Amino acid sequence: MKILKVLVVALLLNATVTHAQNTSPIAAGVDIGAGFGSNELAPSLMYHEELGSQRLPWLRIGLGFRAWGYSAGRTNLETERIAGVKDYLEYRNVSINGVSFLAGISMTFWKFDIGVNTDLLGLTYGTKRHGYYEKGTVERPGTGARYYDKWLSTKPTLFNALPLALRDNSGQSEAFVRFRAGRSLGLKLGYVYGRVTYTTRKINDLNVYLDNSQRHVSTVYGLPYVALAFAVGQ
């Protein structure tokens, strides 16, 4: 996972410098597909526009939008580890949907595009879920003591930024290979890396805090991904 994060950031920074030159026409497309796991599903629809350099025509940077979803069965969402303590809420199932603004970079060789992309900003929404705050016997109860071994109401975090780097956010990133089978149709295979974050809901107009005064719980997932790719402009 860390390798993917470093690769995305390094390539995007390098592309920003390289493409401060004259550019070639914009190419656009739509990818419709999903990531699959044993009890997980992550469908997405992505619109992207990519711009190439005349000096490096095989290298392209892009911007776009992604509508995405994620659902899974029994899942634990964890808090950030602070002073050696990391809590979690246990869910029977989770589901979340989002719309994100993304950036990416790709390299073109013959009929293949090889690249990465990541969400920059986004909105998420979904069904409110109850998570069980399992603690058992604790020698030194923390700020969440009154909620130990209880079901807590939570909701997806609404506003999100840089979920690849910031844990209290939700969103997706991809590493992919896109094969252009014809002028307007192709096949995209890859790996989707995502984060899902929920926030505890208020009780009697008071914020609900777990130990270490935390309200956010999250989990990351990685799934193989397949999509149909449609070219919509050159």
CA atoms of 70 and 7, how far apart (whole Å): 24
Beta carbons of 73 and 27 less than 8 angstroms apart: no
For the stretch 151-173, pLDDT in tens is 999 999 999 999 999 999 999 99
For residue 198 the two structure tokens come to 């929920």
Residue 220: partners with Cβ closer than 8 Å, 6 or more residues away: 1, 193, 194, 195, 196
Mean pLDDT, the chain, rounded, equals 88
Q: How far apart are CA 163 and CA 132, in angstroms?
A: 24
Q: Is the pLDDT of residue 178 over 70?
A: yes
> pTM of the predicted model, to two decimals?
0.85
Segment 74-113, tens digit of pLDDT:
999 999 888 777 899 999 999 999 999 999 999 999 899 9
Domain ranges in the chain?
A: 2-233
Q: Tell me the three state secondary structure of residue 213.
A: helix
Confirm if 157 and 167 have CB atoms less than 8 A apart: no
Asked if pLDDT for residue 128 goes beyond 70, the answer is yes
CA distances from 104 to 7, 179, 195 (A): 11, 17, 18
Cβ-Cβ contacts under 8 Å for 193 (sequence gap 6 or more): 1, 4, 164, 172, 173, 174, 175, 220, 221, 222
Does the structure show a pLDDT above 50 at 186? Answer: yes
Which runs of consecutive H residues, i.e. helices, occur in the chain?
Answer: 2-18
> What pLDDT does residue 182 have?
84
pLDDT at 25: 61
**Contact 187/178 with Cβ under 8 angstroms?**
yes
CATH topology of domain 2-233: Porin (2.40.160)
